[in-house]
Amino acid sequence: MQAKEVCRRVRELAGPEIVRQGVRLWDVTFEKEGGQYYLTVAIDRGRHPADLNACEAISRYLDPLLDDRAFDSLPSYTLCVSSAGLTRRLTRPEHFDECLGERVRLRFYRAIDGAKELEGRLCARGEDGALEIEDDGGQRRTFARADVAQVNLSPEF
């Protein structure tokens, strides 16, 4: 089973417990870091972090469901259920739509105008995934999604 399929199936499995806990599913990832695989389920309560009790309940709910034969082909992994956090990663179209007007940090695959990162306000997301950012100087720039390696919220304190 490929990582995308694993994530899709886990989203489906987590749904009932997510509703019961009064949280929402932010993202599911299945990634290899170092020599270890991690299945990470990130949750939140709107714009607020999820508490430890919700994370524990969802983890306990998912753990036996992931023992199903459909997941037998996966390499050994660690299940992590956590809050999406203040600097949550934006990956899905609905993440970008929800965070319009928020401060974000973009990391590029290669330097653009001499910089590998840029912070600013997320102004728009194009149908093709392009991101329009207003930098700290008030200048708006559009970046092709193919040039952007990662986008995270960058909260102001």
Predicted confidence (pLDDT) per residue in 77-129, tens digit: 999 999 998 899 999 999 999 999 999 999 999 999 999 999 999 999 998 99
CA 63 to the chain's CA centroid? 21
Q: Which of 56-60, 71-75, 87-91, 148-152 shows the lowest mean pLDDT across its residues?
A: 71-75
Lowest-confidence pick of 8-12, 18-22, 25-29, 78-82: 18-22
Backbone angles phi, psi at 102, to 5 degrees: -85, 160
Mean predicted confidence (pLDDT) in 58-72: 87
CA distance 131 to 77: 33
* Residue 47, pLDDT score: 66
- Identify the pLDDT of residue 17: 87
Burial of residue 76 (number of CB atoms within 10 Å: 0-12, 13-18, 19+): exposed
